[in-house]
Every structure is written in C-alpha cells, then in structure tokens.
Amino acid sequence: MAKIRIKWVKSDIGYAGDQKRTLKALGFHRLNEVVEKEDTPVIRGMIAKVSHMLAIEENEDGSK
C-alpha cells in the first residue's frame, strides 16, 4: 500500500478531547512532527477528523 506523510501544524489547545486523542492515535507527540502512515480508509477518516490541524505532505514520487 501507498504511504502518506502527515505533519501536525496547529496546536490542539482548546479543541475537544476526542480530537486530541485522534492526534495521539495517529502517532503524534509534539507540534511540527511528521509521521508516515499507510494510506488506508481508516487513516483517511482520522485525518479528516483533525484536518484543520494537519498538513499532508507529498511523497517523493509526486503523489499525495
């Protein structure tokens, strides 16, 4: 499966607890951290839930 690189760019202060837990479940520990995950529907749903705090980085081959 394809990989997707996700960067946490906005603080979770002031947001609901379920959104904070979603960031932790994605593997984030601190702001401006980048994680690489398999591009699955489950991960895409988690990204959609906290998309206002994340940036999706393109891979080396030019795909998202």
Tell me the three state secondary structure of residue 55: strand
Domain count for the chain: 1
Q: What is the pTM (predicted TM-score) of this model?
A: 0.86
**CATH code: domain of residue 39:** 3.30.1390.20
**At how many degrees (to 10) do helices 41-49 and 17-25 cross?**
140
Residue 30 belongs to a domain: yes
The tokens for 64 are: 């998202």
pLDDT over threshold 70, residue 61? no
Q: Does residue 31 belong to any structural domain of this protein?
A: yes
Report if residue 38 sits inside a domain.
yes
Q: What is the pLDDT of residue 54?
A: 97
User: In the prediction, which pLDDT does 4 show?
Assistant: 95
| Residue 62, in any domain of the structure | no
Report the C-alpha gap between 55 and 57 in whole angstroms.
Answer: 6
> Tens digit of pLDDT for each residue in 2-58?
899 999 999 999 999 999 999 999 999 999 999 999 999 999 999 999 999 999 986
| pLDDT exceeds cutoff 70 at 60 | no
